[in-house]
Amino acid sequence: MKPTPNQSAFDLTGQVALITGGGTGLGLGMAQCFVASGAKVVLVGRRHAELERSCQALGPNAFALAADVTQLDSAPGIIAQAEQLAGPVSVLINNAGVHLKKPMLETSDAEFAGVVQTHVFGAFALTREAARGMVARKAGSILFTASMASLMGIPLVVAYSAAKSAYVGMVRSLAVELGAQGVRVNAIAPGWIASAMLDQALKGDPARKAKILGRTPLNRFGDPEDIGWAAVYLCSPAAKFVSGVVLPVDGGAAEAF
């Protein structure tokens, strides 16, 4: 078999990607790269105005869908609405999430459950519904936004670490279960990525910034598009034999931690 021509190996023309948490941050970075690669994107989030602003910036191949993934019974409707807007969902990116930085001894059961509800239960419900159509069509790609907390011990984020580590198990199990049906399942584990959230976290704390950069061999923060292009690769024909992987995109931090 001849190799796929380079110009089409990463082409996502004809694909429809549903991206949760797609209005800002990493989700928006992925949406920008997917649109640039020819895909249509449906951005899902709770703030409709924010989604609309992002879609206007992305152009006519972007669609806003206001929904809350923690409302598990809404998952079938989310998929149905997305397909009415843009066509059959061929790519699902589970990116919506919440963060909780708190000592374990001060973390309540409700706080722990809230983080798991968004990341694990919300992603599973949407994955199950999206996978129905993918299995029927014998094609599809499912991507989870994991974390360095999936791969290494990070203090003060036990709920977040538990939720993101659960993604790793889901990826491995689903890659095996759905592979024969033509559906690939992977994850990206981002490192420290430049964003308003990171700026706020590091504001007035130069020692913490220096510590992070000291643990990152490339000695800089990543850009949202670094995550976006990795996502394009994993969901493109270039990665047609890649399934069940957790890809760190972290400037080498996981190896140097």
pLDDT in tens, 164-181: 999 999 999 999 999 999
Q: Looking at residue 212, what is its pLDDT?
A: 83
The region of weakest confidence among 81-90, 120-129, 146-155 is: 146-155
257, part of any domain? no
What Rg do the C-alpha atoms of the chain give, in angstroms?
Answer: 18
Count CB atoms within 10 A of the CB of residue 218.
Answer: 13
In which band, very low, low, confident or very high, does the pLDDT at 255 lie, cut at 50, 70 and 90? confident
Backbone angles phi, psi at 230, to 5 degrees: -65, -40
Between CA 83 and CA 138 the distance in angstroms is: 17
254, part of any domain? no
Q: Looking at residue 257, what is its pLDDT?
A: 58
- Residue 160 falls in the annotated catalytic set: yes
What is the domain extent for residue 95? 11-249
Give the list of residues 6+ apart from residue 111 with CB closer than 8 angstroms, or none.
Answer: 100, 102, 159
Give the closest residue to 159 by CA, choosing from 213, 81, 233, 105.
105
Mean pLDDT of 90-95: 98
Mean pLDDT of 128-152: 95
165, part of any domain? yes
Specify the pTM: 0.94
Q: Which amino acid is at 150?
A: S
228, part of any domain? yes
94, part of any domain? yes
Look at residue 108 and tell me whether its pLDDT is greater than 70.
Answer: yes
H helices within 192-237, ranges in order? 196-202, 206-214, 224-235
Q: Looking at residue 7, what is its pLDDT?
A: 67
Q: What is the pLDDT of residues 198-251, one digit of tens each?
A: 777 677 778 888 888 888 899 999 999 999 999 999 999 999 999 999 999 999
Given its phi and psi angles, is residue 235 left (phi above 0), alpha (psi -120 to 50 degrees) or beta? Answer: alpha
Mean pLDDT of 171-197: 94
24, part of any domain? yes
49, part of any domain? yes
Q: What is the pLDDT of residues 42-81, one digit of tens each?
A: 999 999 999 999 999 999 999 999 999 999 999 999 999 9
H helices within the chain, ranges in order? 6-9, 25-36, 48-58, 75-86, 109-116, 122-137, 158-179, 196-202, 206-214, 224-235, 253-256
Q: Average pLDDT over the chain, rounded to whole?
A: 93
Give the closest residue to 138 by CA, choosing from 92, 181, 89.
181
Residue with tokens 């203090």: 155
The domain tally of the chain equals 1
Q: What is the pLDDT of residues 4-48, one digit of tens each?
A: 666 689 999 999 999 999 999 999 999 999 999 999 999 999 999
Which CATH number does the domain housing residue 42 bear? 3.40.50.720
Chain centroid to CA 58 = 18
Q: Looking at residue 4, what is its pLDDT?
A: 62
Coil, helix or strand for 23? Answer: coil
256, part of any domain? no
- Residues 63, 112, 144, 160: which is the catalytic one? 160
Between CA 248 and CA 215 the distance in angstroms is: 14
Q: Which amino acid is at 110?
A: A
Between CA 71 and CA 75 the distance in angstroms is: 8
Q: Are 254 and 189 in contact (CB under 8 A)?
A: yes
